[in-house]
Amino acid sequence: MRLFARASAHVVAVALVSPALAQIPIAGALSDATTGPLTSGNVYHVTSSINVPPGATLTIQPNVVVKLSGTQQFSVNGTLLVDGSGPDSIVFTDLRDDAFGGDSNGDGNASVPAPGGWGSIVLAASSSASDLRGLTVRYAGVTSAGLRLVGSSAALTDCRVDLSGTSGFEVGLSSRPTLTSCTASNCVGEAFDDVALQAVPGFSGLAATGHGFDRLRVLSASTSSGTGQPLGPGDRIGSTQ
C-alpha cells in the first residue's frame, strides 16, 4: 500500500509496510494437552509442518494468525476446534502475506504472497469430531486444494478458502462433512472439488466467485445406494454462486 503526499512542487511517495508482530514458532505435533491451544492475539510461524495426532484435541481461539511457507501443511488426525468469532477471525496464510500478522519475514515489500505459497490443511477420517468456525485459508494449494477432507465428517461453518493455487475445498469421495455458509474465492481450480453425490445433502449456503469454475464438481458417485446410474468423472452440479 502507498500513501502519496505533496511537498512543494514535488510528489513524495511513502511506502507503508505493516510492522512485524511478535511471532511464536511452532512445529510438529500440537495439542491442548501438550503444547497448549493457539491463543487469541498471537501470530504463529510454522517452521516445519504441523499436525494434531490421533486422539488429541487442539483448540484455536479467535484472533489468531498462522503463517506457513513452501510445502508445509497442517494435518489433522485428531480433533480440531476452531473457535472463530467472525470473518477472518482465524487466518492461515502465506508467510509473505503482510495483510495479516504484519511483515513476518522482515523484508518489507520485497516479497508478496501468491497462490500456492504453502501446502494445505488436511482433515483425515480420524478428524470427524472436528468443528471449524470462522476459519480463513489464504494462498495455500501448492499441490492440492487449500482445504482437504479425506474421509472426514467434520463440521465447517463460515469457513473460506481464498487464492488457492489449485481448488478451494476438496471434499473427497469418502467424506461426508457438513459445510454451512462456506466460500471459495479466486482459486485457480474448482471452488468445491472431488465431491461424492451422497455428500451434497450436507451442504448449505455455499458461495464461490472468481474461479475458472465457480462450481461444485462431482468426481464420481452413484445416484442411489443401489445400482443407480453412476456419474462420470468431471460431472458438475450447477453453480454455487
> Would residue 172 count as lying in a domain?
yes
> Would residue 134 count as lying in a domain?
yes
**Is 70 exceeded by the pLDDT of residue 90?**
yes
Per-residue pLDDT averaged across 223-232, rounded?
A: 47
Do 61 and 38 meet the contact criterion of CB atoms below 8 Å apart?
yes
Find the CATH number of the domain harbouring 96. 2.160.20
All cell numbers assigned to 29? 505435533
> Would residue 16 count as lying in a domain?
no
**230: confidence class by pLDDT, cuts 50, 70, 90:** very low
> Would residue 227 count as lying in a domain?
yes
Total tally of structural domains belonging to the chain:
1
Per-residue pLDDT averaged across 47-71, rounded?
A: 97
The CA distance from 143 to 120, in Å, is: 8
> Would residue 13 count as lying in a domain?
no
Per-residue pLDDT averaged across 174-199, rounded?
A: 94
- In the chain, what percentage of residues exceed pLDDT 70? 82
- Please tell me what DSSP assigns to residue 20: P
> Would residue 2 count as lying in a domain?
no
**173 against 14, higher pLDDT:** 173
Q: What is the mean pLDDT of the chain?
A: 86
Evaluate if pTM is beyond 0.75.
yes
**Is 70 exceeded by the pLDDT of residue 139?**
yes
Amino acid 194: pLDDT: 92
> Would residue 58 count as lying in a domain?
yes
> Would residue 180 count as lying in a domain?
yes
The CA distance from 234 to 156, in Å, is: 25
Per-residue pLDDT averaged across 202-228, rounded?
A: 75
Domain span at residue 120?
21-237
Q: How many CA atoms lie within 13 A of 203 on its CB side?
A: 18
